[in-house]
Amino acid sequence: MANRVTVWWQGEEYDAVRQDGREVGTGSGSVWQLLHEGAPVTSFSAEPAESAGAVKGKILEWLEGNRSRPAMDVGRQ
């Protein structure tokens, strides 16, 4: 089980950090908080035995799906 995962996408570095949902305001349970340059971008639920590869896949899928969103709007999910 990973607690931090780093992904490079289109020349930019993104970090995902496993956190308690109560700490980031998403409720109970663990979540992955996605950060870009230290700023929160989005979060998604974390599975108990999730591999780093599975997390990277979720991140890349989200980034691809939100490619057309303006940079200032990305964190408003």
What is the per-residue pLDDT across 20-77, written as a single tens digit (0 to 9) for each?
766 666 666 889 999 999 998 888 889 888 899 999 999 999 999 987 765 555 554 4
Secondary structure letter of residue 28 according to DSSP? S
Q: Can you give the pTM of this predicted structure?
A: 0.77
Residue among 4, 16, 1 nearest 63 (CA): 16
What pLDDT is attached to residue 5? 95
What pLDDT is attached to residue 67? 78
Sign of torsion, CA 66 54 30 11? negative
What pLDDT is attached to residue 20? 75
Pairwise CA distance, residues 42 & 62, whole Å:
9
What pLDDT is attached to residue 48? 84
Residue among 39, 49, 44, 30 nearest 12 (CA): 39
